[in-house]
Amino acid sequence: MALESVCSFQAPNPRIGLLRPGGKGDVDESDVLNNLWSLDKFSIPAVTDPAEFLKPFTNGEGNVKIEFDHGTTTLAFKWQHGVIVAVDSRATAGSYIASQTVKKVIEINPYLLGTMAGGAADCSFWERVLAEQCRIYELRNKERISVAAASKLLANIVYNYKGMGLSMGTMIVGWDKRGPGLYYVDSDGTRLSNNMFSVGSGSTYAYGVLDSGYKWDMSVEEAYELGKRSIYHATHRDAYSGGVVNLYHMKETGWIKVSQTDVMDLHYKYKEEKK
């Protein structure tokens, strides 16, 4: 009703079977139908506490188990020539290697990249939704969205589903008016900005190599080598990481895909260098 919305009053509507997360605005029958077809919202169970309701399905108790592929190593770091993004390409289901050729860098648009760690479907779905939102922003405001705003949009979207079993640890990388941007966003709603991040089961190994070799004023070739080497060492020790190293470089003019290198080739190359 007109007066209701002017006063921002929300009447509870017990007739509606499906609620919309975020709880903003009027909720009526058309909402239910819209949510079924909507590509950027999920209808959530009509119970008092959806997170509690979904707990048994997400924590592995009981008969129903939703197991996620968490095994991965992804990293990104800022330095004087922009941002490097390096990822592995292995997907595991338990101890089974499901694929060695997964694309864990999602190309949101020519100047924004997102990495994938955790649930593959969660990452790729929500980052595609983010791409849609970024494009709409661009059209409405006649200028590119900033990396801060893009990462905030994603963080706010997943925060609506906090506790309901989304699994996503992603890094949003881009170049905007403020220069190179790197944000870490995860499904708990954490959003952090820093010069270096590594996400996934192999992240600890990658951090070791990254931290010891990192310098702000490295050359471009040195930075490429550092990214590749960090992923290699993570894949060498972490069973859940492997395959190939996909290397991207975010420049002022947008990102470029630098290389795709099999970790086995890197293994023998480094072995030779040691001699």
Partner 1 sequence: MSSRYDRAITVFSPDGHLFQVEYAQEAVKKGSTAVGVRGKDIVVLGVEKKAIAKLQDERTVRKICLLDDHVAMAFAGLTADARILINRARVECQSHRLTVEDPVTLEYITRYIATLKQRYTQSNGRRPFGISCLIVGFDYDGTPHLYQTDPSGTHHEWKANATGRSAKTVREYLEKHYTDEVADSDAESIKLALKALLEVVQSGSKNVELAVMRRDEPLKMLSVDEIEKIMAEVEKEKEEEAEKKKKTKTS
Q: How far is the CB of 190 from partner 1 (least distance, A)?
A: 16
Binds partner 1 by CB under 8 A, chosen from 51, 97, 148, 220: 148
Contact call for residue 124 and partner 1 (CB under 8 A): no
**Minimum CB distance to partner 1 smaller for 181 or for 227:** 181
**Euclidean distance between CA atoms 139 and 133, whole angstroms:** 10
101 or 156: whose CB is closer to partner 1?
156
269 by DSSP, 3-state: which?
helix
Q: At what angle do helices 203-213 and 220-237 cross, to 10 degrees?
A: 150
- Binding of residue 64 to partner 1 (CB under 8 A): no
Residue with tokens 């609620």: 19
| Binding map of partner 1 across residues 149-168, x = CB under 8 A, - = no contact | x--xx--x------------
Q: Is the dihedral of CA 243, 255, 120, 87 positive or negative?
A: positive
Q: By CB under 8 A, is residue 41 in contact with partner 1?
A: no
Q: Which of 141, 194, 195, 260 binds partner 1 (CB under 8 A)?
A: 141
The 10 Å CB-count burial string (b at 16+, else e) for 173-189 is bbbbeeebbbbbbbbee
| Sign, CA torsion 263/268/269/271 | positive
Which residue has tokens 């050729």? 101
CB 198 within 8 A of CB 207: yes
Q: Identify which of residues 6 and 39 has a Cβ nearer to partner 1 in the complex.
A: 6
Give whichever of 29 and 252 is closer to partner 1, judged by the CB atom.
29
Beta carbon nearer to partner 1, 150 or 206: 150
Q: How many residues bind partner 1 (CB under 8 A)?
A: 10
Residue 129 contacts partner 1 per CB under 8 A: no
What is the residue whose two structure tokens read 């890094």? 171
- Minimum Å gap between C-beta 139 and partner 1 is 13
Is residue 139 involved in binding partner 1 (CB under 8 A)? no
Catalytic residue among 72, 74, 92, 235: 72
- For position 2 contacting partner 1 by CB under 8 A, the verdict is yes
Told to check if 81 binds partner 1 by CB under 8 A, we report: no
Q: Is 93 helix (H, G, I), strand (E, B) or coil?
A: strand
Say how far apart CA 210 and CA 214 lie, in whole Å. 6
Kindly tell me the sign of the dihedral angle through the C-alpha atoms of 47, 51, 41, 7. positive
* Contact flag: residue 194 with partner 1 (CB under 8 A): no
**Closest CA relative to residue 245, chosen from 97, 83, 84, 121:** 84
**Shorter beta-carbon distance to partner 1: residue 7 or 64:** 7
Do the Cβ atoms of 216 and 79 come closer than 8 Å?
Answer: yes
Q: Look up 72 and say whether it is catalytic.
A: yes
Stretch that binds partner 1, among 98-106, 146-154, 206-214, 259-267 (CB under 8 A): 146-154
- Residues of this chain that interact with partner 1 (CB under 8 A) are 1-2, 6, 141, 146, 148-149, 152-153, 156
Please list the active-site residues.
72
